[in-house]
Amino acid sequence: MMDLEVGEGGDKGPEMDVEAGGAENSKMKGNGSLSSKDRIFRADKIDLKNLDIQLEKHLSRVWSREIESKRPKEEWEIDMAKLDLRYIVAHGAYGTVYRGTYDSQDVAVKVLDWGEDGVATTAETAALRASFRQEVAVWQKLDHPNVTKFIGASMGLSDLKIPRTNSSVEDQNSLPSRACCVVVEYIPCGTLKQLLYKNRCKKLAYKVVIQLALDLSRGLSYLHSKRIVHRDVKAENMLLDLNWNLKIADFGVARVEALNPSDMTGETGTLGYMAPEVLDGKPYNRRCDVYSFGICLWEIYCCDMPYPDLSFADVSSAVVRQNLRPSIPKCCPSVLANIMRKCWDGNPNKRPEMQEVVTMLEAIDTRKGRGMIPDDGSVNCFCFSPSR
């Protein structure tokens, strides 16, 4: 270890002179440059904190790779050599979604973004990995035409390069070594939310409204039959294929329904779709999805957003304490309006099961009702009330 001594006034001590002399002799004998062993470093200029961070990152990568190499492979784990990411599709609270290919099949790849190695604490990393395993555990066993098909997942992506911008050119920086991904079928026509926004002026035909509602209700009924509560039912989490068949996606906060309702509490979901009991921090069960479906049904019919003029705090308070719900247009068929009201009832025990909702929707004769505009494209009835 090098001994550096500096005298008062910045004068070099005797040992510094020796090193300096050695360095000078080396310079005279060589080609004019100092060899690495002859360089002099000032201890007060060494960034020890940064060195610690770099060391932690290195050890983290080594540790992760050793753990992954020793861990037995899960049945759902994919061959990373067959996965190619192309560009970013969307960012979400629980990860980033990319479009890519897996074994020549178009796929969507959701990557859990855990930040740089060495930054997240051990507890944070453990919680994120547990959340990921939970999502995979929920998704891998599902098989229904109205649920996005699970293809596989990976618990480690240390060798995967990903694009950071919306382009096909790969970024040269790798993901953190402990990042994970889940791979599902690629649904080409975007989200239900995007469809509703595109039709915010002309609205959807009544037949289309009922078909979308049936797809969503059948998918949720299937999940509930497997004791799975989605907990984030909203138009943004519903995808559409080329034939406008709706598929439920994003199981990042889904979980198996607890036998004891008191075991499921906390504000989980998206404000505006969250049931009063969830907003109020009370125990809840699958009926919270039924409430969210009621809000989605209103959105599908109206092609509008609930509570556009209210703040998050106002919505939360009014839904719980004042029984605030979206204003149903007068032109909405009574049979559909009744389903909305039943689904978003303030008392979860009074809400129907999703299979009951499916039955009610299947009984609707679309020839006897209409959407926000008639199927022939004539002038719409302007029956929205701006007040909420």
Catalytically active residues are 232
What distance in Å separates the CA atoms of residue 229 and residue 277, rounded to the nearest whole number?
15
Burial 86-107 (b: 16+ CB within 10 A, else e): bbbbeeeebbbbbbbebeeeeb
Pairing verdict, β 95-102 and 180-185: unpaired
Q: Tell me, what amino acid is at 72? A: P
Q: Tell me, what amino acid is at 33? A: S
Helix%, strand%, coil% for the chain, nearest 5? 40, 15, 45
Q: How many CB atoms within 10 Å of residue 4?
A: 15
What distance in Å separates the CA atoms of residue 231 and residue 287, rounded to the nearest whole number?
10
Residue 174 DSSP SS3: strand
Pairing verdict, β 238-240 and 105-112: unpaired
Structural element, H or E, at residue 60: helix 48-70
* CA dihedral sign of residues 135, 141, 144, 149: positive
The DSSP symbol for 77 reads B
Pairing verdict, β 83-92 and 95-102: antiparallel
Q: Are 116 and 57 in contact (CB under 8 A)?
A: yes
Q: How many CB atoms within 10 Å of residue 185?
A: 18
Q: Are 138 and 254 in contact (CB under 8 A)?
A: yes
